[in-house]
């Protein structure tokens, strides 16, 4: 039977409404897909205490690192990449904020189980900023920016966390130097049965698999090759926190790290994510006694090049040209700033970034406007034998001084090993760079938080309990 005119109009109205609704939903989905496509996945892989010359592609003669070498061949090596600090926690704080860590009042490695030291709960971390920009976020491995509730990874923007809260653990049994268990899945203590480096890669690969349809930020923060010096075959060996040899312990640790990085990269490639994923590999500071920092002078803890110049590799298929090298000086804070810019995120208005976006370098080797990179090694409230020193890198020049009045000036283009002090023949340049350091310190001091006083309280409590 024919429809009446009112029925036809009603039917057309319903169909029209449905069509409009479907059209709007389709537009929304297309917009959502377009927005997601514009957001690259971000993978930041951090080694711990890796020496400048501990990778084959950076000159290692005795360590095989085929996965890192492949990453370098498929991307860009940075030969003048600096950790913000010569020790671990401050560099991590710099990365997680994109700002000089001195602003937070944290100029030392957070002590074992110490309260009130690290990344304060009132700060907005890079993970939180990326989460606000639409990213799924995960940290696998070492945190070392606070133990207490509010200071932990899950409270600083990480949707998922696997790893240790402190600076180091037994690689097989997961306790720290106080004997405290330190291995967590989010806020729950866990007791897996595997080598820490392998576990860190396990959780990283699992996260990538589960997040393959969404933009993600993965911070793979490996403990290796930080002490204790335990290779993957050392489960039954006599345990020591600090003893070991390069051949028996350190080299297997680095080669295991290389395999773990390879697993992360292979997963990204297997899921066809390479063209939409920036991978960055670097270290939190220079290597210590078993590392090879050659041709650099000094070790972890110092502001000589060996303490702060660290290898870095970046790969982004179809964006970064293969097998390229940049010798432009950059710092850890720049990587934080770069990731945030790529994500379309922004820092809080009262926390402007100190780091610079490195995409002009990554996309075509363009130089940034020449700028000074600042460093400071302050007294450590927990540890003795720290040599106070300031440093600034400006172009080819590096200037250092101490409170005792020592001054050093090196031309790193011709003297990467810092053997020839040119201060006497370049006094005016030295004075100018010293003035830059003074101006920088006037900007960063006093810090936003008095963590030094809290650290002294922690040390006193520790001493009184003995």
Q: What is the DSSP string of 94-155?
A: HHHHTS-GGGGT--SPPPTT-TT-SS-TTS--HHHHHHHTT-EEEEEEE--S--STTTSGGG
The crossing angle, in degrees rounded to 10, of helices 332-343 and 88-97 is 30
Q: What pTM did the predictor assign?
A: 0.92
Q: Are 391 and 400 in contact (CB under 8 A)?
A: yes
Kindly tell me if the per-residue pLDDT of 14 is higher than 90: no
Name the residue with tokens 């959502």: 32
> To the nearest whole percent, how much of the chain has pLDDT over 90?
89
Per the prediction, the chain carries an average pLDDT of 93
pLDDT at 256 over 50: yes
CATH classification for the domain delimited by 35-371, as one of 3.40.720.10, 3.40.50.720, 2.60.120.10, 3.40.50.80: 3.40.720.10
With a cut of 80, say whether residue 235 has pLDDT above it: yes
Give the pLDDT band (50/70/90) at residue 1: very low
How would CATH label the architecture of 374-464? 2-Layer Sandwich (3.30)
> Has 382 been annotated as catalytic?
no
Query: Quick one: pLDDT at residue 24?
Result: 53
364 pLDDT band, cuts 50/70/90, is confident
Nearest to 164 by CA among 149, 150, 179, 153: 153
pLDDT digits (tens, 9 = 90+) for 28-85: 444 344 445 589 999 999 999 999 999 999 999 999 999 999 999 999 999 999 999 9
For the chain, give the percent of residues with pLDDT over 70: 92
365 pLDDT tier (thresholds 50, 70, 90)? low
- pLDDT per residue as tens digits for the range 129-160: 999 999 999 999 999 999 999 999 999 999 99
Catalytic residue among 27, 144, 181, 249: 144
Active site residue 164: no
**The pLDDT value given to residue 5:** 30
At residue 279, what are phi and psi to the nearest 5 degrees? -110, 130
Cα gap 314→210, rounded to integer Å: 23
pLDDT at residue number 37 = 54
Which residues, including other chains, have CB under 8 Å from residue 453's CB and lie 6 or more apart? none
Confidence at 23, pLDDT banded by 50, 70, 90: very low
Q: Where are the domains of the chain?
A: 35-371, 374-464
**Model pLDDT for residues 259-283, shown as the tens digit of each residue:** 999 999 999 999 999 999 999 999 9
Residues 88, 156, 226, 249: which is the catalytic one? 88
Average pLDDT on 197-217 reads: 98
């Amino acid at each position: 039977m024919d429809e009446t005119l009112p029925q036809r109009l009603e039917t057309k109205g319903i169909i029209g409404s449905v069509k409009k609704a479907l059209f709007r939903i389709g537009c929304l989905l297309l917009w959502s897909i377009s927005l997601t496509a514009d957001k690259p996945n971000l993978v930041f892989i951090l080694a711990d205490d890796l020496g400048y010359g501990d990778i084959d592609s950076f000159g290692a003669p005795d360590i095989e690192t085929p996965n890192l070498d492949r990453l370098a061949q498929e991307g860009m090596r940075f030969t003048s990449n600096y950790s913000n600090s010569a020790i671990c926690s401050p560099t991590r704080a710099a990365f997680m904020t994109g700002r000089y860590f001195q602003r937070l009042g944290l100029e030392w490695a957070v002590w074992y189980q110490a309260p009130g030291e690290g990344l304060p709960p009132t700060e907005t971390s890079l993970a939180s900023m990326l989460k606000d920009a639409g990213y799924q976020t995960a940290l696998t491995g070492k945190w070392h920016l606070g133990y207490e509730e509010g200071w932990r990874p899950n409270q600083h923007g990480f949707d998922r966390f696997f790893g240790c809260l402190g600076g180091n653990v037994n690689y097989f049994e997961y306790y720290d130097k106080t004997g405290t268990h330190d291995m967590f899945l989010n806020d729950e203590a866990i007791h897996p049965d595997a080598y820490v480096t392998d576990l860190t890669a396990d959780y990283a690969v699992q996260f990538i698999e589960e997040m393959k349809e969404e933009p993600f930020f993965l911070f793979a923060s490996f403990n290796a090759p930080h002490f204790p010096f335990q290779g993957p075959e050392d489960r039954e060996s006599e345990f020591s926190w600090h003893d070991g040899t390069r051949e028996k312990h350190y080299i297997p640790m680095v080669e295991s790290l290389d395999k773990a990085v390879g697993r992360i990269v292979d997963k990204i490639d297997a899921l066809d994510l390479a063209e939409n994923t920036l991978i960055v590999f670097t270290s939190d500071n220079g290597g210590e006694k078993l590392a090879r920092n050659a041709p650099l002078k000094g070790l972890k803890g110092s502001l000589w090049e060996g303490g702060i110049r660290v290898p870095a590799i970046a790969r982004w298929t179809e964006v970064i040209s293969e097998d390229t090298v940049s010798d432009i000086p950059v710092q850890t804070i720049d990587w934080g700033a770069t990731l945030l810019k790529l994500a379309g995120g922004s820092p809080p208005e009262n926390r402007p970034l100190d780091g610079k976006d490195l995409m002009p370098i990554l996309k075509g080797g363009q130089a940034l406007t020449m700028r000074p990179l600042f460093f400071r090694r302050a007294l450590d409230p927990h540890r003795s034998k720290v040599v106070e020193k300031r440093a600034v890198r400006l172009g080819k020049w590096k200037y250092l001084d101490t409170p005792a009045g020592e001054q050093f000036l090196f031309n790193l283009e011709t003297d990467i090993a810092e053997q020839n002090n040119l201060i006497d023949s370049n006094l005016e340049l030295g004075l100018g760079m010293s003035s830059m350091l003074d101006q920088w310190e006037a900007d960063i001091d006093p810090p936003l938080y008095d963590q030094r006083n809290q650290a002294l309280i922690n040390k006193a409590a520790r001493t009184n309990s003995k």
